[in-house]
Amino acid sequence: MGPEEFRRAGHELVDWVADYRARVAGLPVRSGVAPGEVMGALPAHPPEVAEPLEALIADLDRVIVPGLTHAQHPRNFAWFPSNASLSSVLGDILAAGIGALGITWQSAPALTELEQVVCDWARQLCGLSDRWKGTIYDGASIASLVALLVARESASGNSQRAGGLQGEKRPLTVYCSAEAHSSVTKAALLAGYGAGNLRLVPVKKPGHEMDVTALAALMADDAASGRRPAAVVATAGTTATTAFDPIADVCQVAERHGALVHVDAAMAGSALLLPECRDLFDGIEGADSISWNPHKWLGSVLETSLYYVRHPEILVSVMATDPSYLRSSLDGAVVQYRDWGLPLGRRFRALKLWALFRLEGAEALRARLRRDLANARRFAALVEAAPGWSVLAPVELQTVCVLHTPRDGDAGRLDPHTLAWCEAVNASGLAHVTPAILDGRWMVRVSIGAEPTEWADVVALWELMQEKAAAAG
């Protein structure tokens, strides 16, 4: 396809996207398709001859849109926000269109240096000191894996350069709270520690944050029995309830054992933009690495996950390779992001964050986050005040965990009741919320923060919830 054909087609698809965003509020939030329905509606074989753009657009409307649960819908309260701000979309159009190849600094200097710039801009907006240097990963799962690989190598004296973890005599151990994201467990397992060396530290009630006394005891026990504590993952904003592990205390305990501390702030990192929220992250400067995802609440298009370290040279020592075909005369004078993470090549990831920051401005971003915090508090107050309803955890940010007790108060019926009214809300297509297990029972998470979500949308959800819960008994 040549530039002129692209120009025409690009205009059509930009229009299609603009129209989609303009009409998304009128679509059912959750897709109603059955498994296999999308696949079944598309040709089983690839076309031999080029099809016209119109055919592709027709399938978008006929098959793809009905097959979507709409993350950009104003009444999307499911999981965590996954905002793709249109200003960020503009940056990503450039990334695809320029088609730069990020495998060395030399292959696209601006790709590397703009990534340095936006990572530093984000650092400043978060109030982090300039000791932190950042890079962009695709997601926080990768960040946790990298952090635990670095911890493994630090604790084992760079075992990967010798016999690997296989040569270890004193098993390395890893710690996170029982409320940590599933990706932390996955990372510990993939990094080779083994489930038997992963400690899920109990949480305190009602906040569901890590019990640091329990952490200290577990680490001391492990050290006493010949194990080596390698890392603690502190979660800032857990998935179920946005609980904040006490980072300062975690760092203090970890330091006794020489264990690294990684802060998983995948969702909550956006709150660092608000000075009034920074107390939640107290002690973060003492951690060894931080990850947070501007592709969640803040509005950068997926996949934009920031990873900050205080000692890039340690990260690089674990991740670096130096094949002849990637060497250049500037090595040593420039940042080579291929040595800062798992992949070799990257697209021009920084553009989507650059466009977001520039076309929105920090003030407007903060104002939107504050709107969501206020809406969450206001919503929680409504829930608390309603008979039969309760809020199950402190509302630290924009996620409210709610429970409705059935009229007969039958505790045995609580879980099915919760799942029933939650499903009824979602099946209506008028809003979307997702359940999770907290303290052994199902509850419903109302995660406020889709970019177009205003108070009226929250009110609409609340009325729907009450209606469906009442109907479910």
Q: What is the smallest separation between the CB atom of 280 and a copy of itself, expressed in angstroms?
A: 21
Q: How many CB atoms lie within 10 A of CB 76?
A: 27
Residue closer to a copy of itself (CB basis): 226 or 387: 226
Q: Map residues 197-236 to x or -, x wherever contact with a copy of itself holds by CB under 8 A.
A: x---------------------------------------
- Per DSSP, what are the bridge partners of residue 228? 172
Residue closer to a copy of itself (CB basis): 163 or 388: 163
Calpha distance 207→204 (Å, rounded):
6
Short-list 441, 457, 448, CA closest to 405: 441
According to CB under 8 A, which one of 142, 212, 260, 391 is a site residue for a copy of itself?
142
Q: What is the smallest separation between the CB atom of 13 and a copy of itself, expressed in angstroms?
A: 5
Interaction residues for a copy of itself, span 8-37 (CB under 8 A): 9-11, 13-22, 30-31, 33, 35-37
Determine how β-strand 305-309 pairs with β-strand 399-404: unpaired
Tokens encoding 12: 């059509």
CA angle in degrees (0–180, nearest 5) for 198-204-205:
140
Residue closer to a copy of itself (CB basis): 24 or 383: 24
Calpha distance 169→442 (Å, rounded):
42
According to CB under 8 A, which one of 27, 125, 223, 248 is a site residue for a copy of itself?
125
- Per DSSP, what are the bridge partners of residue 244? 236
Q: Map residues 144-183 to x or -, x wherever contact with a copy of itself holds by CB under 8 A.
A: -x---x--x------xxxxxxxxxx--xx--------xxx
427 binds a copy of itself (CB under 8 A): no
359 binds a copy of itself (CB under 8 A): yes
276: left (phi over 0), alpha (psi -120 to 50) or beta: alpha
Farthest CA pair distance, the chain: 76
Residue closer to a copy of itself (CB basis): 95 or 373: 95
For residue 345, the number of C-alpha atoms closer than 13 Å in the C-beta half-sphere is 5
Instruction: Please identify, among the stretches 210-218, 369-377, 432-440, 464-472, the one whose residues bind a copy of itself according to the rule CB under 8 A.
Output: 432-440
According to CB under 8 A, which one of 103, 200, 314, 414 is a site residue for a copy of itself?
103
110 binds a copy of itself (CB under 8 A): yes
Q: Map residues 180-199 to x or -, x wherever contact with a copy of itself holds by CB under 8 A.
A: -xxx-xx--xxxxxxxxx--
Interaction residues for a copy of itself, span 260-279 (CB under 8 A): none
Calpha distance 227→223 (Å, rounded):
5
- Between the alpha carbon of residue 473 and those of residues 187, 421, 423, 446, the distances in Å are 41, 9, 14, 20
Q: What is the smallest separation between the CB atom of 261 and a copy of itself, expressed in angstroms?
A: 21
Short-list 406, 401, 411, 415, CA closest to 470: 406
Determine how β-strand 198-201 pairs with β-strand 133-137: unpaired
Interaction residues for a copy of itself, span 51-90 (CB under 8 A): 51, 53, 55-56, 60, 63-72, 78-79, 82-90
Contact at 8 Å (CB) between 315 and 150?
Answer: yes
Handedness of CA 380, 384, 385, 386 (dihedral sign): positive
Q: What is the smallest separation between the CB atom of 302 and a copy of itself, expressed in angstroms?
A: 4
Q: What is the smallest separation between the CB atom of 42 and a copy of itself, expressed in angstroms?
A: 5
Interaction residues for a copy of itself, span 233-252 (CB under 8 A): 239-240
